[in-house]
Structure 1
Amino acid sequence: DRLAGLGLSGVHLPRAQDRVHPSLAVDLAGNDRRVRHAVTVLPWDAKHVDRLRQLVDAPVLDEIPALGALIVELEGRAIERLAEEALVQWIEPAPEEGEPEDLRGRTFHRVNALGTDVAGSPGLDGTGVVVVVNDDGFVGPHIDFTGRTEQSDVAGDMSGDHGDMVAGILGGAGNLDPRQQGMAPGSSLIIRQYSGSMPNTVDLYQDEGAVIFSSSYSNGCNAGYTSTTQLVDDEIFDNPAIIQVFSAGNDGTSDCGFGAGSNWGNITGGHKQGKNVIATANLNDIDVLTGSSSRGPSTDGRIKPDIGAYGIGHVSTYPPNTYGPGGGTSAAAPGVSGTLALLYQGWRELNAGDPPSGLMKALLLNAADDLGNAGPDFRFGWGRLNGTRAWQALADGRWTSGSLDQGQNTSHDFVVPPGTAELRVM
């Protein structure tokens, strides 16, 4: 009777084929059953992970502890047998190994008017805000990061300089050349090696106070709402101060199976298709979307990317103690992360504690300069990042919060000053 009262017309027990990701099912059907596939296996409950290990009976390549998920390599016939097990909720392709997605940034993002060197400004530089940069190894040596990085996770890993470029755009101090200052030159940076399973996010928040996580790596083109996507959304829901910022991707002309041909549905994730995260498009200095910038929608039809930022023609930090060019959505995403660090600092100066990241995301999107089609679209999201306008909305208290139960509604009153040209409500 209780179920009938909810309007249910039936109950369906998941079949083996319901537990297998569609793209994996295609691979299994098209290959000999002895071919091995790297997969992520998700139980119904994380507490059953030990039983899942026994069922898998194969070396574990990686884990997603918060979900109890195991990443393993199995023959096709073993995957088919595993899908028959009641303990198993879902089997999907393992996260792809990430690939990097790469003088005017502060002005373009309208954060120059918020800095400590402008008379009458709020004097925001990200001081006290801890940002995690997930990238390709050790950052530096570079005097623009002196005293502000924690790099124990990548100590000795000098293999790449993509992370140097990203970190400089986000939080370079401009000590070597003040013109190359990043968005949040006072922020504290934790540098980690990127992993597609996004491990230890909550630990870094609880132990180190990290609230902003910036990743400029791909995670499978049009990969859909994966287990990692669920993980980052759940972590933000349970820890509202956390925000994840991603590059939208550099596959703007690719056909990734969305169904609308090339140019659409090619966001490179995975985790960046989450509902609580921010995916960043790549704009040039005259607000034109670059041809390589990945387009939405998400696999399930939602607006992606969320916002656009400057990603072409950056000059950023490179080791040792020099600067060089950087570009792509890799360079756009840290512009958003650094701007968020300024807003987090500003919130803390106005209020107690950390802001809800949902409010920070809403402020950025609603304050963006609309580009492309009127309103949000699948190329620019809500438009070009405008840090000053977002700060003004925050400082003026142009927001409200509340709660609703299922089936309830409420109303809010706003005073719109005479002569107002536009009102945006999100």
Structure 2
Amino acid sequence: MTYKSNPYNTLHIYMLLLLFTFNLVSVFSQSDIQKENIRAKYNSSKLSVFNSELKKDYDQSRDKMVRLAKANGWTISETLSNGSFVELQDVGEDGAPLYYTTLNDNVNHTSRADALHNGGALKLGLNGEGMQVGVWDGGTALKSHQEFGNRVLSADGSEKTDKHATMVMGTLIASGIKEKAKGIIYKATALSNDWTKDKIEVAEAAANGLLLSNHSYGIKTDRVPDWYFGSYIKISQDWDKIMYNAPYYLMVTASGNAQHSRDNDTPIYGKNTDGFDLILGFSASKNGVTVAAAESDIDRKGNIVNATVAGYSSFGPMDDSRIKPDISGAGTNIFTTSSTGTKNYDVSSGTSMATPGVTGSMLLLQQYYERLNNTYMKAATLKGLVLHTADDVQNPGPDYRMGWGVINTVAAADAITNEEYSTVISEDELENGEIYTLTVNSNGTDPLMASISWTDPATGFVNRGTLNDVTAALVNDLDIRIEKDGKTFFPWKLSAANATAAATKGDNKVDPFEKIQIDNAKGEYTITISHKGNLSTSVQNFSLIVTGVEVTQCNVDMPSETNLGEAGDESVVMEWKEAPDTLFEAQFKNENSDDWTTEYTYNNFIELKELTIGETYEFRLKAICTENIGSDYTPKLTFVFEAEGTELQDALDYETLSTDSQMSISVYPNPAVEEISLEGNISSNAAYSIVSTTGITVKTGNASAAKIHVSDLSEGLYILSVQDLRGVKSTKFYKN
């Protein structure tokens, strides 16, 4: 047994500077170059062989399907009275016909994706520009609809325009000509395909760099034997193999709408009227994300008031107790595009509508991560991030109705923002017999949460006809534990034998995602990741996500106590208050120049060089905690360089300074609803910043203003900092 320790080092100045440089030239989208970067990480020969196998299997199964359909008088396709389209697509290994079927509030608001859009609460300006999503469905979307412009491509040449596909496409990329219909990624492009050769086409697209695909359809539940429900079958295995071979690609599927169908007469738990054990086919894959429909009340500040599973949404579990569905999203009464005309719209409900809400939100998170890191997340990281940050509703932990909860795109984006500050997002690998350890300090404010996610190999157990077989489909069983003072904390787990029971904590032997939560965490903890038995692949990649930790002692206050130090013939030293783990960005320029000279240091001083006697210079300073998190610049300080006689100047009210050199501030009303006012001896050039508890600066401005509007802030606690030459003063206020 070997140990691999990851101290999660604090920032290194040179790495930061490189990241700054790279981000200046980042395209912030999935360009051809970025797709090529993904392809370069794949084993192209292995992918080619696998794609050839899929095509061979397709031809063989298609011939078999046509023969059996003729012999048994099976209908090839039909449209049901409820509008669902049904089509024979495959034959199970037991000869059962496998029919694909479409699976018929505001999606943006429930997922909180609108907070990432232009004008959204997070002010990130993420709308899907340059990103691409794959959509497979019963046909292709109406490309000429006014909401799509020229952003829908018929990738497989299908000429069949489909009502359901058009609705799904609108939920994803509708531009918002009619505001209620605006999609999650309303500036992205989409590859529209019918489902006839879905595995082959997806495998090829994934090999070419596709990140996400949406599948709002599934196998019709009233036309298969009971043993199919909750089973890991060959179809599940094939999709897992696609994702394992292309580890940046993630499939997102609907859980189904069969909760009250009574189609499974022998569920692994309960009676056929209870709604359990109804997930099957590719929705049962280990590595994909399966989406349930939630009916949620979200207040105007983006907080979940309450949430329940929709009355139609299919429940898990998988027969081996795996947690399915994985996540939930809004799916009821969704206003979206219609195929009946280029300017027509419709309202639809179902897990079909919940699924694109999740897919689009995940693509926004990929866009944001790439913007900050110049690379995309692996699929396991993206999946883990979304499950890790979901709103946990009803009982603590996951359940078989709504998975890990309702997707919260804001919380996931905050975790990305706070990487290396209060979040760890790490992609690593575990070799046979190796143990990975990481020591962290809780931040004492938020729950300490740690999770691991991995794309599991597809080889291993496949059910070929056994009813309610509990054999685990998991191949490489990784384990996460947290230890403190001799106590071990375990991850959540569920049991199919008691599907209505609340989640417990223990050894999870079935899920490729494990999460530990420690409320009221204080002090230092050790996270350990290990594995059982031998890894089938000798090495297993995994993604680790940790939140609620203090990765650095840095804080986002503006630097204070700035003073001039020793002066030379052509230089002067600028000094300020020390701050641990803080990188400082210092800028100075001649007052007649437009260009700032920028230097970085971890010290609390810097030497400004090549100055000219008699010239006036300006200086400003900011603190940087991570590439994404830092303070605002201090107010500009000016000085006339006179070698030994140089003195700082600024536009402060020196009369105020002389009568009371210590700044004082107070804020009222507190709590606040619409606006706050500042009181105290605040100078005319003082600057303010409002920072959330997650470290994000949400507002800045001149502190001498009479009032600061806060009506657009979400409910919660904020830190208000005011900075001038005398230093910085901070106070807290609560926004209702």
Same fold (TM over 0.5): yes
Taking the TM superposition and a 5 Å limit, the aligned residue runs for 1:277-296 are: 277-286=288-297, 287-296=307-316
Pair 1:422–1:405, CA change in 2 (3 A): closer
Which residue does the alignment assign to 1:11? Answer: none
Query: What amino acid sits opposite 1:122 in the alignment?
Result: L
Task: State the identity %.
Answer: 25
Pair 1:338–1:278, CA change in 2 (3 A): same
Query: What amino acid sits opposite 1:296 in the alignment?
Result: G
Taking the TM superposition and a 5 Å limit, the aligned residue runs for 1:60-71 are: 64-65=54-55, 70-71=60-61
Q: TM-score, normalised by structure 2?
A: 0.45
Deviation at 1:330, TM superposition (A): 0.5
Pair 1:418–1:373, CA change in 2 (3 A): closer
| SS of 1:401 mapped into structure 2 | strand
Q: Does 2:169 match 1:167?
A: yes
Deviation at 1:395, TM superposition (A): 2.2
Q: In 2, distance between residues paired with 1:48 and 1:106? A: 37
Pair 1:411–1:133, CA change in 2 (3 A): same
Of 384-393 and 196-205, more deviation after overlay is shown by 196-205
Q: In 1, distance between residues paired with 2:324 and 2:214? A: 17
Give CA deviations for 1:324-363 in whole Å, capped at 9, x if unaligned: 1011001000011000110111121122332101000011
Pair 1:182–1:68, CA change in 2 (3 A): closer
Pair 1:48–1:355, CA change in 2 (3 A): closer
**Cα contact 1:250–1:328 (8 A) shared by 2:** yes
Q: In 2, distance between residues paired with 1:230 and 1:147? A: 35
Deviation at 1:197, TM superposition (A): 5.6
Gapped regions of structure 1 (runs ≥ 5): 1-45, 51-62, 76-89
Which residue does the alignment assign to 1:156? Answer: 159
Of 283-292 and 375-384, more deviation after overlay is shown by 283-292
Pair 1:274–1:152, CA change in 2 (3 A): closer
**Cα contact 2:158–2:194 (8 A) shared by 1:** no
Which residue does the alignment assign to 2:202? Answer: 201
Pair 1:92–1:359, CA change in 2 (3 A): farther
Taking the TM superposition and a 5 Å limit, the aligned residue runs for 1:334-349 are: 334-349=356-371
Pair 1:49–1:157, CA change in 2 (3 A): closer
Which residue does the alignment assign to 1:410? Answer: 436
Which residue does the alignment assign to 2:280? Answer: 269
Q: In 2, distance between residues paired with 1:206 and 1:217? A: 23
Q: Does 2:174 match 1:185?
A: no
Deviation at 1:302, TM superposition (A): 0.5
Q: In 2, distance between residues paired with 1:327 and 1:186? A: 24
| SS of 1:283 mapped into structure 2 | strand
Taking the TM superposition and a 5 Å limit, the aligned residue runs for 1:27-426 are: 64-65=54-55, 70-71=60-61, 72-73=64-65, 91-93=93-95, 96-102=98-104, 104-118=106-120, 121-140=123-142, 141-158=144-161, 160-174=162-176, 176-195=177-196, 198-207=199-208, 209-221=209-221, 222=229, 224-253=231-260, 254-256=262-264, 257-260=266-269, 261-262=271-272, 263-286=274-297, 287-319=307-339, 320=341, 321-397=343-419, 398=423, 399-421=425-447, 423-425=449-451, 426=515
Q: In 2, distance between residues paired with 1:139 and 1:49? A: 26
Query: What amino acid sits opposite 1:343 in the alignment?
Result: L
**Cα contact 1:285–1:312 (8 A) shared by 2:** no
Q: In 1, distance between residues paired with 2:278 and 2:330? A: 18
| SS of 2:211 mapped into structure 1 | strand
Pair 1:201–1:94, CA change in 2 (3 A): farther
Pair 1:410–1:119, CA change in 2 (3 A): closer
Larger Rg: 2
Give CA deviations for 1:49-84 in whole Å, capped at 9, x if unaligned: 99xxxxxxxxxxxx8337688311578xxxxxxxxx
Pair 1:70–1:219, CA change in 2 (3 A): same
Q: In 2, distance between residues paired with 1:291 and 1:297? A: 17
Give CA deviations for 1:366-419 in whole Å, capped at 9, x if unaligned: 110012332011011000010110111122222223221233222112232122
Pair 1:94–1:147, CA change in 2 (3 A): farther
Deviation at 1:153, TM superposition (A): 2.6
Which structure exhibits the higher relative contact order, with contacts defined as CA atoms closer than 8 Å and separated by 6 or more residues? 1
Deviation at 1:264, TM superposition (A): 4.5
Q: In 1, distance between residues paired with 2:51 and 2:417? A: 46
**Cα contact 2:268–2:319 (8 A) shared by 1:** no
Deviation at 1:247, TM superposition (A): 0.4
Give CA deviations for 1:298-320 in whole Å, capped at 9, x if unaligned: 13221000001000011011132
**Cα contact 1:266–1:295 (8 A) shared by 2:** yes
Query: What amino acid sits opposite 1:182 in the alignment?
Result: G
Which residue does the alignment assign to 1:34? Answer: none
Gapped regions of structure 2 (runs ≥ 5): 1-47, 69-91, 222-228, 298-306, 452-514, 516-736
Deviation at 1:134, TM superposition (A): 0.8
Q: In 2, distance between residues paired with 1:149 and 1:95? A: 32
Deviation at 1:212, TM superposition (A): 0.7
Give CA deviations for 1:71-128 in whole Å, capped at 9, x if unaligned: 11578xxxxxxxxxxxxxx934466121111262111111111002236511111222
Identify, as 1 or 2, the structure richer in strand: 2
Q: In 1, distance between residues paired with 2:398 and 2:197? A: 28
User: Number of residues paired by the alignment?
Assistant: 352
